[in-house]
Structure 1
Amino acid sequence: MAPLPRGDRRAPSLDRADRATRAGRPGRVRRTVLAALVTAAVAVPVAGAARPAEVPAPAPAATAPLTATEPTALAAQLDARYAAGRTALRAAERTADAYGAHRRAASLHAMAAPGRQVLSFDGRDGGRGVEVVGDLARADRIAVLVPGADTGLDTGYARLRSGAVALHDTLRDEFGARAAVVTWLGYRPPATGSAASLTPGRADQAAPRLRAFVRELRNVRPDARITLLGHSYGSVVCALAADGLPADAVVLYGSPGTTFDRAADLRARAVVWAGRAAGDWTADVPHVGLTLLPGTELGFGADPMDPAFGARRFAAGDGGHSDYLTPGSVPLRSLALITDGREPARA
């Protein structure tokens, strides 16, 4: 398994392996966990290669950043961006269809349907997309959903968008909020069980893009409440992006860890929340972070649900790893309450 390089970010003052040693964790236990993690990485052959990441797509046209703060002017800018997104989707659909990637073409066709609001799209390297549910120009509650492993244009994205619709509708119907929910597939999530899923490498690459996107949202909606919600590997992305981020809350749910020992180490201005459903398999993930080579790590460190981590813990029900945004569920209501600035039931 080739190690992935770490990106540039501020880290806690002590190396994680040094901290583990100073805390008295036996080296034999660390080596055993390392062996188990590496075995898991190689025991799922071609997990990453099975994803259709190499489907060709044309480069999208450059788009202007959002700058207007007045709702009518912002709505006009958003409409132009949605039109550009639809154009990029249709071009990528034609290319995928000609290539023989008919499943990809069908996914892109659905995303380009009338009424869908795709803020940005790039079909290359597996595909990146940012989609809005609701009226972003007038929203005073904005949720940004950051997905985890196995979420791509062909698999997982439909579930992600359905969850965004469920969260938006809960905010609107139960709390009367003017809400917008954004699905941020701004990076290439790893495949579950792949080597990439066991390291923070892709999260390091994604974090600056997520940080820039949230800052753009804050610039155009300065008075809105912005909540960042990271699921599974997406929680690692959110944690790495949190340093100084102009958000009001960062929510880590179904998280394998964040690479940090404590919530305070995220250096977030936002309140940090954590939740895990009773049936979520991430409770059984070894919560260690091992330095293999300088600048290369394996694992994600402390469990955000550990009281010592210091996050506020919310009730997440009895479901499984993929059930947090199920309509009518306990975790969906908790996430909606946090997004609306209210207190959820505590875990």
Structure 2
Amino acid sequence: MPELIDGYGRKIVKLRVSITDRCPLRCIYCNSEGISFLPREKILKLEEIIKIVKIFSRLGIKKIRITGGEPLSRKGLESLIEGIHKIGGIEDIGLTTNGQELERKAEELKKAGLNRINVSLDTLDPEKYRIITGGGILEKTLNGIREAVRAGLRPLKINAVIIRGINDDEIENLASFSLKNDFYIRFIEFMTYNFITHNGEESNRLKQRALLNTEIKDILKNTLARAIRVENRGHEELFLFNNGKAGIGFISPESAPFCSSCNKLRLTSWGELLECLYAENGLNLRDLLRNETDEEMIKNEIVNFVKAKCYSKYGRYNLNMKSIGG
């Protein structure tokens, strides 16, 4: 089987697939103000996504992560997961969600073939949650997490972004909540790109208030002293607890970039293949499919695209994180 290896020798084994540019929330760290959604005909159809994943599976991709927007808002999600699950070579299917609709969908997602789930949760305070998400209801996400656990979607990971003056007083509580329930929590640094938040604050000002993971690790130093640190995780610094059933991770694109170990590609909901969140140019797979391009030719286009993958982030600092999937 051919493999996807870029010009720096990095083997690509993961594909993040955004299936919608829509999300009902307006989180302060997402570019959600003034967005106009794409016409539906420009968004990849579910069968097109399955075709693309099938092509990537023949190029050595083994892990798929479904993102949005908010992927649970896409009709037919269960059938999409079922279709991907049937593709030979795909070993793991994950999904990242805000959790607002997870309670009623978790069991069906598991039955369709979903293996694991990541839930965005930046606070355990209902009012802060409403402010951070632009109107979200904390209890809905907590109920969704409980239902995901009941359905067997493990390991369950919590994604948290910490902003000074908003939720920086909850770092220890979030960690304790996760460890007590045998979850993994990952503290993710706010990424540099330009937009206006839903409450009118410029992202560059918000970034100045965002905590780096070096600060968070210092706050959690007593807790981390009890953990087993995992070596060579590439994109994530991980500390294990409870015999490996729980963990605290740090994803640090600003203070400790992990470009040298990058092993993933991104597919936008409109069918553009991106080598990096910050890449200026992508490969339009949607048009190749709709023009009935031969599969071998598409594979060659992908292989050549990956060979030109950049070594580190550059270029596009006004990307729409909400529609691209983070």
Q: TM-score range by the shorter chain?
A: 0.3 to 0.5
Q: Give me the TM-score of the superposition, normalised by structure 2.
A: 0.33
Q: Give the structure, 1 or 2, with the largest relative contact order (CA under 8 Å, sep 6 or more).
A: 2
